[in-house]
Amino acid sequence: MLQECKEHGYFRGETCSVCGMEGKFLMNDREMEKIGRMIAGMLRHFPEKYQLSMDEHGWVSVAEMVKAIKKRDRRMRWIRSHHIYALVETDPKGRYQVRGERIRATYGHSISVDLDLPTDGIPDELFYPTTEEEVDLLLESGIMPADRKMVHLSSTYETAYIAGSHRVENPIILKVDAKKAVEDGIVIMRACDTVFLVKEVPPEYVTKVEGKEPPSDAAEEE
């Protein structure tokens, strides 16, 4: 459930985590999931399907997005801009960014955009999940984008394992020497606290993580 506390802003759940009070109801879990999927599609994959105008950096108008959602599904005619802001502000994965009256996805794109994300605060090591079938190829040739336009690296072994668990039961985790890569001129961008983007990772920066146990929360959602 998505609600709004008069004192502390938007929150997900039954009560505000700050004051413990119920807030103004905005949408239920089913509506959040449905609208969330629509937003992801608009901003990551097919803005033209919704007749949205997207600039070269991936930004679209929140007002135009609201119009597109209403047009796509008449049952969503109640939606307003503040519903979009509430979803973004409470998104636990930090998938979206709002600037003024515009919104964009910070990662996960299958379309070409110039994200111009921050390049500071890059951890010394980053991680990437793969499979037994692919690991030797990646160690030899490096990591290239697959179904996305950029390589997505995780901030920790644990988050990479959880991400990889959506593809295979026991993912193999690769470690990227991000510190050396940045020193050598490779641009790594910070999409959110746990996801980092790079065009490709040459093999000299990639090693296999050995002898580490799977995290206990490996079944959680990415």
What pLDDT, in 10s, does the model give residues 171-219? 999 999 999 999 999 999 999 999 999 999 999 999 999 877 777 665 4
What's the confidence (pLDDT) of residue 129? 95
Confidence of residue 10 (pLDDT cuts 50, 70, 90): very high
Query: Does pLDDT of 8 surpass 80?
Result: yes
Distance, in Å, from the CA atom of 140 to the CA atom of 52, rounded to the nearest integer, reads 41
Percent of the chain clearing pLDDT 70 (strictly above): 97
d(CA 92, CA 71): 28
Annotated domain spans of the chain? 2-105, 125-208
Residues contacting 64, CB < 8 A, separation 6+: 52, 53
CATH topology of domain 125-208: ADP-ribosylation fold (3.20.170)
For the chain, give the mean pLDDT: 92
pLDDT in tens, 46-64: 999 999 999 999 999 999 9
Contact by Cβ (8 Å): 162, 126: no
Give the Å distances, CA to CA, from 20 to 1, 29, 114. 15, 20, 41
Overall average pLDDT of the 158-182 stretch = 93
**Residue 84 structure tokens:** 């979009």
Domain range 2-105, CATH class: mainly alpha
pLDDT at 166: 82
Q: What is the dihedral of CA 121, 55, 52, 66, to 10 degrees?
A: 50
Instruction: Quote the pLDDT of residue 219.
Output: 45
pLDDT in tens, 87-110: 999 998 889 999 999 999 999 999
Q: What are phi and psi of 146, to 5 degrees?
A: -110, -95
> In terms of pLDDT, which residue wins out, 147 or 160?
160
State residue 172's pLDDT score. Answer: 94
Alpha carbons within 13 A on the beta-carbon side of 164: 24
